[in-house]
Structure 1
């Protein structure tokens, strides 16, 4: 019994300790919240100059608007007293102030938008650096989440700063200016305004009380729907062959309904907080209007207070909404901040995915030097896996062809990505070596040809030039010849100027592969990595692609992952992956 009680006590203590750790460092903890807020605030740095100017113009707009309503009240007083000079001057001041207010508001909006573009551009640049192989970093972020972060989340953060950052400069001045002017013409009205304003901070707290939970749910639902839709499009052919398209459609529908519910929940909360804000503001305006009306009628008299005239009473009523406008905007920005915080957290998870101290890639080897590959006790394990995907220890000589074979899913593509530097090994090291240099893989320093060839909606020339944007016509012609594309180009109606892609000319899978080979040749890399380059080709197309590869890679080091016997037979050395280990086979001789 004593032992059981002790075990229960230990478990209770462990649970309390775990809860304490979660409270101090978990996703919803105060420390995590402060960290998220600090990172979100730092995102505004690229647009801070424009936001500051926008805030100054917003404050100027408030001052000019107060002047405009003062001129209107003065004009009304002149009309009542039939003072023609006062009417004329009041009308002129009203017109000029109105034009200035419109101009200041437009300029403030344009500057805030410019700042938002600067913030979004900076976030997309940082996302690009994290998602694409650059500066020695890699990312395992899925394409759906990556596209979502690029397109939507960066704009969510930028739009929040475009709304909130200028307000931080303009709101205090605007909210002090109206009570100050009101106190100058009739201090009891200013006192009523200040007392009714005290109700608003509570509402602003209510505005964001449940917003974070709703934003997190919406974020999760959107991420799930993006992944489901992308996977569905990728596997559409397989789904059709299995007759599972209908079931997959129901899965997409369920994910869409989940997102719809999360979005409606966020909208309901926003509507509720906005409604409460409107009620508080309407109450304040009603109290001031009642006081002004009763004072003008003589029913209310405050001792030692100046007499309320048509000018002062009308001015108080006209500038009251100006006083509450920044508060309404701050309440909206407060709600949007929760959405921006959630977006910033998702972006930060992507851009800070690389451990500190990751080395920058070394310089790319000279193009004239053959490149060998050294795999020294290389191990790679995917996050969360309980075993290594691949173990490799081999030396690939410069200027040779090496074929990687093995069952599907054995790790051939993973090993190629390790050689290319697209992934970092869990253990061991990958080195490129030449006669003068031994270095880690230089991202972008090798040529990659895979089984999926992407052809842009552009001409054949432009599709080939992707490998080297500054290539001359002579370079392109050499690439066409090396890839064996001469006959294909002659067949096309406009030769290299023939447009491919949607609405353009079509080419076969084998011809598309040869265009990819021409791209790779144009890069001038001396290390080629080929991932199933002859997959899904008939025998004739496969022979043509192998011949093109042999011509294009003369004098280069080639590592090719393949199931094809003819392609493996063309290699100098064959390595097989069995049970995650790389073994040497030697060479394959065609019968």
Structure 2
């Protein structure tokens, strides 16, 4: 089931809180779809585990009666039955747990696939998700939902059958004990409901504290250099400690609530077992005799005492599931908010046009961020195939947003963006263009591996061609191990200009004929900027290039310069012919 299918099936959130809660509950239920088969099998096996356990306790009670009666043959057969059923209980229980884990992994994987499609750039997704919330959803919340389903789906299948089996066995051997179980059961649903309501507020506080701590930690790491330069590391550490303490308090509050509700349930269950134990003990001693009740002996009394706790085990598990459910509902609501506006179908990556440049057409394009009261972009323009176009403008004027619209990373609120060749005209396709951004992302890997990101299956000769096109040959020769030199995370080991040329080599390796460059020479000195521009000229020969920049050097190298002012793209003015 795709994200949109789930969303369309269960509808958008109602205006009221009740409707929204029902939608979240329905969406939470639908999340179990990828692992429901394994989880239901686990529930069937949990029921078999209960039946085998009842049989084992029956064998134990029978053996005890045989010892009392000095029936040696019965003793031997009883011990054999205990051993066989014990092996069956362990085997079925282990298999049920394995299937539940497999189902949980399938649920978590399904959610992470949806989150990946929503968090990575996709055609049609307009809303933005902060990195802290994205990491929290991907790492923690998917597991919260998966763990909840791994517990509740098998339980929903096994609990009614298991409790019925225990009650039936108890009623068959001594019906007064079964009546005590039934009467006690009536007290538990109310306690379980109160437990869930009691835990909800605490779970909300814990969720908010977790989100806040994630944001503080992420921002602290990202801004560590700035914090150090400003001498604000100490203040930031106190902020981090405060956020951690808030999460600790919220977590302890949830644990206290869970402990209190669990204690109330334990009192009810212990009372029921104690009543049955007292009754059976007095009956065996001859002090109590219920009219028309069957006679109690060691076998029936011991069997009732052994299976009574099994009757309440599913209720204990369901009480625990109440607390998991509150976490899962919060997690599902957060994940749903991230994925709900992701389109059902994302434009597939276009095959690189190796022989033909790609032109770009913007027709009455408008773009507005969610919640904004005005358009960010107003654009009508044509970028002919095989040309260099520079877009200039003040910071925040919309240059990067315009490039993302051309790349297909965002969908325009109105109008259309089209890529065109001599043979076809199509909407932007993810992966069909080369992108070089302001920040060069280099992995903690070799230079070869960083370049090969552009085409993972590239041959050595193709990598060498990309190195030559980006003007990296001399740089590679000066590195200790050439292409096998390992770069630190973020590009440690090469200069900023060299890192940009590695990004250019990576883009060249893609083979795309449309290049989108966002401030490719930012923060470079004059010599480094000149080297990067020369590398771009070589790598983009015959390609269509659109550049957002403040650089006069790049503007001078362009065929056309466009100016963007408060999101409005002005008419092109010719600069020079390359």
Aligned mate of 1:282, from 254, 263, 270? 270
Q: Tell me whether 1:103 sits opposite 2:94 in the alignment.
A: no
Q: Among 130, 148, 153, which residue is 2:136 paired with?
A: 148
1:327 alignment counterpart: 315
Give the Cα–Cα distance (whole angstroms) in 2 for the partners of residues 382 and 528 of structure 1.
25
CA distance in 2, matches of 1:502, 1:402: 32
> Are 1:529 and 2:536 counterparts?
no
1:327-476 equivalent positions in 2, closer than 5 A:
327-354=315-342, 360=347, 366-476=353-463
* Partners of 2:346 and 2:477 in 1: CA distance: 47
* Higher mean C-alpha displacement, 375-384 vs 296-305: 375-384
Point out where structure 1 has 5 or more consecutive residues left out of the alignment.
Answer: 1-23
Match of 1:3 in 2: none
The residue matched to 1:209 in structure 2 has which SS?
helix
| Distance in 2 between residues matched to 1:260 and 1:518, nearest whole Å | 48
Cα 1:464–1:363 change in 2 (3 A) is closer
Match of 1:506 among 466, 488, 493: 493
Deviations 1:3-32 (A, max 9, x none): xxxxxxxxxxxxxxxxxxxxx976873322
| Cα distance between partner residues in 1 of 2:228 and 2:564 | 32
The 2-side partners of 1:485 and 1:49 are apart by: 53
Partner in structure 2 of residue 545 of structure 1: 532
Task: Determine the structure 2 residue equivalent to 1:76.
Answer: 64
Compare relative contact order (CA 8 Å, sep 6+) and give the higher one, 1 or 2: 2
Provide the C-alpha distance between the structure 2 equivalents of 1:551 and 1:569, rounded to a whole number of angstroms. 16
| Contact 1:58/1:108, CA 8 A, preserved across alignment | yes
Shift of 1:217: 2.6
In 2, Cα distance between equivalents of 1:409 and 1:363: 30
Is the counterpart of residue 492 in structure 1 residue 479 in structure 2? yes
CA deviations over 1:41-72 (Å, ceiling 9, x no partner): 11111111111211111111111111111111
Flag structure 2 segments of 5+ consecutive residues without an equivalent: 1-11
For 2:346 and 2:74, how far apart are their aligned partners in 1?
74
Q: 1:239 aligned to 209, 215, 227, which one?
A: 227
| Matching of residue 179 in structure 1 with residue 167 in structure 2 | yes
Whether the 8 Å contact between 1:58 and 1:166 is mirrored in structure 2 is yes
Could you tell me the TM-score, scaled by structure 2's length? Answer: 0.93
Partner SS, residue 354 of structure 2: coil
Alignment partner, residue 483 of structure 1? 470
Farther-moved stretch of structure 1 (514-523 vs 239-248): 239-248
Aligned-pair distance for 1:344?
1.0
Residue 246 of structure 2 is aligned to residue 261 of structure 1: no
Identify the range of structure 1 (100-109 vs 77-86) with the bigger mean alpha-carbon deviation.
77-86
Matched, 1:571 2:571: no
Does the CA-based 8 Å contact 1:484-1:514 persist in structure 2? yes
Q: Deviations over 1:290-343 (max 9, x none)?
A: 111111111111111111111111111111111111111111112211211111
CA–CA distance in structure 2, aligned partners of residues 28 and 292 of structure 1: 54
Measure the CA separation in 2 of the matches of 1:284 and 1:450: 68
Query: Deviation string for 1:241-281 (max 9, x for gaps)?
Result: 33443443343333333333322222222111111111111
**Which stretch of the first structure deviates more once superposed, 111-120 or 366-375?**
366-375
SS in 2 for 1:394: strand
Q: Distance in 2 between matches of 1:483 and 1:502?
A: 21
* Kept after mapping to 1: 8 A contact 2:213/2:244: yes
Structure 1 position 499, deviation (Å): 2.0
Instruction: Tell me the equivalent position of 1:195.
Output: 183
Question: Which range moves more in the overlay, 424-433 or 549-558?
Answer: 424-433
Deviates more, 1:503-512 or 1:315-324: 503-512
Is the 1:485–1:511 contact (alpha carbons within 8 Å) kept by the matching residues of 2? yes
| Distance in structure 1 (CA, Å) of the matches to 2:265 and 2:350 | 59
1:15-34 map, 5 Å: 29-34=17-22
Check whether the contact 2:60–2:78 (CA below 8 A) recurs between aligned residues.
yes
**C-alpha RMSD of matched pairs (Å):** 2.3
Q: Cα–Cα, structure 1 residues 88 and 503, in superposed 2: closer, same or farther, change >3 Å?
A: farther
Name whichever of 383-392 and 530-539 sits farther off: 383-392
**SS at structure 1 position matched to 2:416:** strand
Q: 2:260 aligns with which of 272, 276, 285?
A: 272
SS at match of 2:197: coil
Q: Deviations over 1:413-455 (max 9, x none)?
A: 1111111111122232222222222222112111000121121
Aligned to 1:16: none
Given that residues 518 and 547 in structure 2 are in contact (C-alpha distance below 8 angstroms), is that contact kept between their aligned partners in structure 1?
Answer: yes
Given that residues 130 and 139 in structure 1 are in contact (C-alpha distance below 8 angstroms), is that contact kept between their aligned partners in structure 2?
A: no
